[in-house]
Amino acid sequence: VQSRYGPILFNGDDLYLTATFGSTPMQINGATINNNSGNNNPDAMYYKFNINSPSNLGNISVQRTCYNELTEFSLNGNYDSIIWNFGDPNSTNNSSSIASPLHLFSSSGNFHITATVTCGSNTQIVEKDIVISNEPVLNSVNPISKCETISGSGICSEFDTTNLNSLLIGSQQNVIIEYRNSNGDLISNPLPNPYTNITNGGDTISIKAYFANNPDCFAQTNIQFITLAKPTPPTLTTPQTFSIQQ
């Protein structure tokens, strides 16, 4: 490819980049391929860039998407002004002009969010679809206690986790449960059965539950696995006298 850079021009806030180039036919397996980019004819590149366009715009960030909670929005990037539309015409205030607004949605459901961003004379629209829903009901579960497997170890490998998911969420459908161990590591769902604690004396497992279509709206609780010390066998400390009668 033979190329030559053209002039760089400014017109107000617009920057123009130009170049000319010519490319030769392609040779593949002895065959010559002529096409628009390989015919030896000159071609030109023309690129326009507005120096006042909104820069480094990221995705819309959303926190707290539970119904009856204030949902917070933000948008990373540099801009002069922003107008939010929450796609919720039944709400008392469906728009905002602050950088990180809060909005209370009028109902649960799907909503189309737009942020119209202005920088100088240039405008850009950023969009995001979100789900607003009730959070799952997450039942509390009583601590599960079991004796240690080996005396003095503080570890039990016999905790029964049968039906634990059902105890936590009942008959609710499309609910995702996440378990994290005492170290904060994500562990399997369902929990291993039997379960073995990793911390001497027992584990506290953190539980997070959310509907599959709305992971940003979740309920949390925890469950304790308590390892009990095995009773110490009695030790005879005084001489014993036995009488054998015939």
The answer to whether the CB of 15 falls within 8 A of the CB of 39 is: no
Closest by alpha carbon to 162, among 141, 138, 139, 184?
A: 141
Tens digits of pLDDT across the chain (246 residues): 444 556 677 666 666 666 665 666 656 555 665 555 555 566 665 555 555 555 456 789 999 999 999 999 999 888 899 999 999 999 999 999 999 999 999 999 999 999 999 988 889 999 999 999 999 999 999 999 999 999 999 999 999 999 999 999 999 999 999 999 988 999 999 999 999 999 999 999 999 999 999 999 999 999 999 999 998 777 766 666 666 666
Any idea which residue has 């015409």 for tokens? Answer: 89
Q: Where are the alpha helices (DSSP H) in 96-214?
A: 164-169
Q: What Å distances lie between residue 104 and 24, 69, 226, CA to CA?
A: 61, 6, 41
Strand partners, 215: none
**3-state secondary structure string across 108-166:** CEEEEEEEEEEECCEEEEEEEEEEEECCCCCCCCCCEEEECCCCCCCCCCCECCCCHHH
Closest by alpha carbon to 112, among 46, 169, 62?
A: 62
The answer to whether the CB of 216 falls within 8 A of the CB of 208 is: no
The answer to whether the CB of 44 falls within 8 A of the CB of 152 is: no
Instruction: Kindly tell me the sign of the dihedral angle through the C-alpha atoms of 180, 170, 173, 136.
Output: negative
Tell which phi-psi region holds residue 52, choosing left (phi > 0), alpha (psi between -120 and 50) or beta.
Answer: alpha
Q: Would you call 169 helix, strand, or coil by DSSP?
A: helix
Question: What pLDDT, on the 0 to 100 scale, is given for residue 20?
Answer: 63
Question: What pLDDT, on the 0 to 100 scale, is given for residue 119?
Answer: 87
User: What does the alpha-carbon distance between residue 188 and residue 165 come to, in Å, rounded to a whole number?
Assistant: 12
Q: Where are the alpha helices (DSSP H) in the chain?
A: 164-169
Question: What pLDDT, on the 0 to 100 scale, is given for residue 41?
Answer: 62
